[in-house]
Amino acid sequence: MPTFALIVAAFAIISITHWLYRWYNPRCNGKLPPGSMGWPLLGETLQFFAPNTSSGVPPFVKKRMERYGPIFRTNLVGRPIIVSTDPDLNYYIFQQEGQLFQSWYPETFTEIFGRQNVGSLHGFMYKYLKNMVLSLFGPESLKKMLPEVEEAVRGELHRWSTLDTVELKDATARMIFNLTAKKLISHDPERSTENLRANFVAFIKGLISFPLDIPGTAYHECLQGRKKAMKMLKSMLQERRMNARKQTADFFDCVLKELSKEGTILTEAIALDLMFVLLFASFETTSLALTLAMKFLSDHPLVLKTLTVGSNHLPNVFTHNMKLQFINETVRLANIVPGIFRKALKDINFKGYTIPAGWGVMMSPPSVHLNPSKYENPLEFNPWRWEGVEIHGATRNFMAFGGGMRFCVGTDFTKVQMAVFLHRLVTKYRWQPIGGGNIIRTPGLQFPNGFTVRFYEEEKDCQLKTAVGI
């Protein structure tokens, strides 16, 4: 018996040793990029999610860039990943979408956004959904939507000016969520008996957190928020199906029209996952960008003065280049999306390294946007650096809205909302920061203490011009 026990123990030790060797030395039909796979099972997940207050390249990426170079390997949430801070590789990945690479996110992200979310779909199905979204948020539709955006901004800014203080992140999120939810599902928060947005807030708090699904963790709260929001959306869709409208007024109407077609490839599950992603993406990312934009305006009076003078003389929000320059610079420094994921469909050789088939690839927008060889003084807020630069999609050095065939379909909608908001803001209002405004990244952008300000309508308190340097 002791001999048998020794044999079992020896076999276990050999098996574990072999597994550990394979963990630290993954198989590859070529030369893997340098790097570390981290702890067994955990990889380098804890380091990746560690909060930091840096405005530069995330410490996780920066340390490894300095040690290994612009392309390196790691392991996140149990999956081997190649991290790319190389603009050429990023561009190559975007151009080879559907051929050598496909959209992919770690299992934990799939749990959060749904197994049939638009980021996990490929080929014809993805193009089909993209065209559905463009029918609502494409350039032609946005022209018709502009008065609604202007009215929403006008009403909210006026309301804020009647309050003692305003917490900007929450206030801008509420404004954009209500506008988007109205266009998507005709949701009216004043008439609804349930708070749809509250479920998204709970979802967002744990979106980029360590994936531990037990009560009390941010990740668990995130999953619960999604579950409740999906339940509400499904109930709304079923109610709309029972009371279908003849005219197409919102996205639910488009969905029901597609679902009723004979031989349709759209399913209710895919439609609900799409609705969830659209609601999340439209308000969370834009509200973060607007909050950061106001912080930049507060910290840079010359920029505010330039925007104000330009807006008073040239009120058309689409032709005023300074606003577009300001938006580009804001999203460049915001780096709201810390990583864009793809998966290699076959072994790929690039600059002497091999990316093995099946491995994930994470492109790092911050490392591109903060590259000192491409942007002089990259941490400096300088909208004038965009003078004469026209960007209609992703480039090697600018990927704030993704790139390739998956370039964000909501980009124009986001820019319109920001441009309308900025125009109304700088021509009619002044504000005074009260508290907060500190930033952390975990690794996504957050305002842990919010950003609280006091608003003034310009005609009611012109003396504030002195306070902001005009």
The answer to the question of whether 254 is labelled as a binding residue is no
Containing domain of residue 429, as a range?
44-467
Residue with tokens 């650096």: 385
Q: Decide: residue 205, CB within 10 A, 0-12 exposed, 13-18 middle, 19+ buried.
A: middle
Q: Strand 360-363 and strand 79-84: pairing?
A: parallel
Q: Strand 451-457 and strand 166-167: pairing?
A: antiparallel
Question: What is the pLDDT, as a whole number, of residue 18?
Answer: 62
**Would you give the distance in Å from CA 136 to the centre of its chain?**
20
Phi, psi of 103, rounded to the nearest 5 degrees? -60, 135
**CATH code: domain of residue 242:** 1.10.630.10
**C-alpha distances in angstroms, 297 versus 304, 430, 469?**
5, 11, 11
Question: What is the pLDDT, as a whole number, of residue 242?
Answer: 80
10 in a domain, yes or no? no
**Would you give the distance in Å from CA 182 to the centre of its chain?**
21
Question: What is the pLDDT, as a whole number, of residue 136?
Answer: 77
113 in a domain, yes or no? yes
343 in a domain, yes or no? yes
245 in a domain, yes or no? yes
12 in a domain, yes or no? no
The pTM for the full model equals 0.85
Question: What is the pLDDT, as a whole number, of residue 319?
Answer: 46
Mean pLDDT by 10 residues, the chain (470 residues): 71 72 83 93 88 89 96 92 96 92 79 66 74 79 87 94 94 90 79 67 66 78 82 85 72 84 85 83 85 94 84 50 88 90 95 96 95 94 88 79 80 88 92 92 86 83 35
Q: Which of 335, 328, 332 is nearest to 386 (CA)?
A: 328
39 in a domain, yes or no? no
156 in a domain, yes or no? yes
Question: What is the pLDDT, as a whole number, of residue 209?
Answer: 64
The token pair at 225 is 């928020």
Question: What is the pLDDT, as a whole number, of residue 121?
Answer: 64
Distance CA 81, CA 343 (A): 9
Q: Which of 102, 44, 37 is nearest to 73 (CA)?
A: 37
Q: How many domains does the chain have?
A: 1
38 in a domain, yes or no? no
Question: What is the pLDDT, as a whole number, of residue 373?
Answer: 93
